């Protein structure tokens, strides 16, 4: 990747807590305008990784460049927006006061506060104390503050947790707009189907190691997980099909068969050869969860 367009560059990052490797030898590039999803189990090191990028935690070794600056420096902080996991705020402040405070800290016009709250659908509750907000509303205050100014990099720790499906869709539309303007976005999530449709690239972190990175089709190819085929035979022909496919097993009225990616077409043409005896066939590619589990378990997790 061209380093000139790289908003975030990390090479050989390692962080140890009390002898345990929280992150080991993690490298990563995120380009301007790119949306990258960070996946991993609880405790895989996602939040630690984000805090190192933000400069909240110092790395033990490795190099990090955030918008060409050292992480956590005043210049980097001016260009980076962060949404912590389970964003919390002082319960005595109103949403409007909280956002106004953040605008002032970034040297922005405070009249933007209402605009930002309207953007995340909190305009009606702007003058109520945050203590009276629901979890989803607090999360939206957190989202609103990430939109302040024009950040070059957004680091979002589980941004859609606590949001209803409609709010999630609205949120990803906001992100699309920011990415189109050139912001790089790094977000963590547990919702695999959601990030698949809404991000350009996936990273899988497991036990502090970056075990996979790429687009979903790339990861699917790399994982090379077997494809499941469910064959329903025309009455009485089960035996013939079982003879043709000795590895198939009977599940209810269907016969289940697994084949590798390379054998997919061969197997399908074999089944097509038996078309007089087959009532129906379902081809089921490995699910996102299967691919994710494959990578995150590979290191004995």
Partner 1 sequence: MIARILATAMTEAHIARRNRWVLIAVVLMVVFSLVLSAVGSAPSGGLGADRLSITVASLTSLSVYLVPLVALLMSFDAVAGEVERGTLPLLLTYPVARWEILAGKLVAHTGILIIALVAGYGAAAIIAVASDPAADAGFGALWRLTWTSTFLGATFLGIGYALSSLARRASGAAGLAIGLWLGLVVLYDLALLAAVVADDGGTFTTQVFPAALLANPADAFRLFNLTASQATAAASGIGAAAASIGLWKSLASVLVWPLVALGLATLAFRKVEP
Binding site for partner 1 (CB under 8 A): 51, 54-57, 74, 77-78, 80-84, 86-90, 92-93, 97-98, 101-102, 104-107, 129, 142, 145
Residue closer to partner 1, measured from CB, 77 or 168: 77
| Beta partners for residue 156, in sequence order | 83, 187
CA dist 76 and 179 (Å) reads: 18
121 in helix, strand or coil? coil
Q: How far apart are CA 10 and CA 26, in angstroms?
A: 7
Q: Which is nearer to partner 1, 41 or 129 (CB)?
A: 129
**Closest separation between CB of residue 209 and partner 1, Å?**
24
* Residue 156 main-chain phi, psi, to 5 deg: -120, 115
> Least separation, in Å, of the C-beta of 291 and partner 1?
32
Task: Give the residue with the Cβ less far from partner 1, 52 or 175.
Answer: 52
Nearest approach in angstroms of CB 77 to partner 1 is 4
The nearest distance, CB 58 to partner 1, in angstroms, is 8
Report, in Å, the least distance between residue 88 CB and partner 1. 4
Query: Closer to partner 1 at the Cβ: 15 or 294?
Result: 15
For residue 4, give both structure tokens. 């000139």
What 3-state class would DSSP assign to 193? helix
CA angle 74, 77, 78 (to 5 degrees): 85
Q: How far is the CB of 14 from partner 1 (least distance, A)?
A: 17
Burial class (CB in 10 A: 0-12, 13-18, 19+), 212: buried
Q: Is residue 192 within 8 Å of residue 39, measured between CB atoms?
A: yes
Nearest-approach distance from CB 48 to partner 1, in angstroms: 12
Give me the torsion for CA of 80, 85, 91, 95, rounded to 10°.
50
Q: What is the dihedral of CA 36, 29, 53, 197, to 10 degrees?
A: 0
Q: In terms of CB distance, is 74 or 251 closer to partner 1? A: 74
CB nearer to partner 1: give 91 or 270: 91
Which residue spans within 18-72 are E strands per DSSP?
20-31, 35-39, 61-66
Token pair 């979903």 is found at 216
6 or 100: whose CB is closer to partner 1? 100
């Amino acid at each position: 990747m061209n380093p000139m367009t790289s908003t975030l560059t990390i090479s050989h990052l390692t962080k140890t807590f009390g002898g345990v490797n929280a992150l080991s030898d993690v490298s990563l590039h995120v380009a301007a305008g790119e949306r990258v999803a960070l996946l991993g189990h609880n405790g895989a090191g996602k939040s630690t990784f984000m805090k190192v990028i933000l400069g909240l935690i110092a790395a033990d070794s490795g190099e990090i460049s955030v918008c060409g600056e050292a992480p956590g420096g005043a210049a980097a902080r001016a260009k980076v927006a962060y949404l912590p996991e389970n964003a919390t705020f002082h319960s005595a402040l109103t949403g409007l006061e909280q956002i106004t405070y953040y605008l002032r800290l970034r040297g922005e016009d405070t009249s933007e506060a209402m605009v930002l709250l309207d953007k995340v659908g909190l305009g009606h509750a702007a003058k109520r104390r945050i203590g009276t907000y629901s979890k989803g509303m607090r999360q939206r205050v957190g989202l609103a503050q990430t939109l302040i100014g024009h950040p070059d990099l957004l680091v979002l720790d589980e941004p859609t947790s606590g949001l209803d499906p409609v709010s999630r869709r609205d949120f990803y539309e906001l992100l699309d707009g920011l990415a189109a303007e050139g912001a790089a976005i790094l977000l963590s999530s547990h919702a695999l189907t959601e990030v698949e449709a809404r991000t350009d690239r996936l990273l899988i972190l497991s036990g502090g190691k970056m075990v996979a990175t790429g687009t979903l089709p790339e990861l699917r190819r790399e994982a090379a997980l077997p494809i499941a085929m469910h064959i329903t035979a025309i009455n009485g022909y089960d035996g013939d099909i079982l003879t043709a496919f000795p590895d198939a097993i009977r599940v209810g009225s269907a016969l289940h068969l697994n084949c590798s990616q390379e054998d997919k077409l061969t197997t399908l043409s074999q089944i097509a050869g038996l078309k007089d005896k087959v009532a129906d066939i379902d081809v089921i590619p490995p699910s996102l969860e299967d691919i994710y589990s494959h990578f995150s378990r590979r290191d004995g997790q």
